[in-house]
Amino acid sequence: MVVPVDLTRRYVAEARNAGADVTYVELPDEGHGYSPKGAALALSAVGDFVGRCLAARSRA
C-alpha cells in the first residue's frame, strides 16, 4: 500500500509535536529509485542520522 505524502507529513508533524527529533527529506521528483542528486540527499540524511545516534551513544 502506498502511503500518500500528506499522511507522511502528518506523521512527521505529530512526532515533532511529541518531542521526537525527526528528519524528513522529501524528494518530490523521485519514484522507485533515486537520481544522483536524490541519492546524495538521501545518503546525507542517513549519514546525519547515524552520526547523531553514535554521538548519543558515546555520551551515554
Q: What mean pLDDT do residues 7-30 have? A: 91
Q: pLDDT band for 27, please (50, 70, 90 cuts).
A: confident
| Span of 27-31, 32-36, 41-45 with lowest mean pLDDT | 27-31
pTM for this structure? Answer: 0.65
| Residue whose entry in the numeric block shows the C-alpha cell 554521538 | 55
In order of 11, 31, 35, 47, 50, the CA distances from 56 in angstroms are 24, 33, 31, 14, 10
Q: What mean pLDDT do residues 39-58 have? A: 90
**Residue 41 reports pLDDT greater than 70:** yes
Top mean pLDDT of 2-6, 13-17, 26-30, 42-46 is at: 13-17
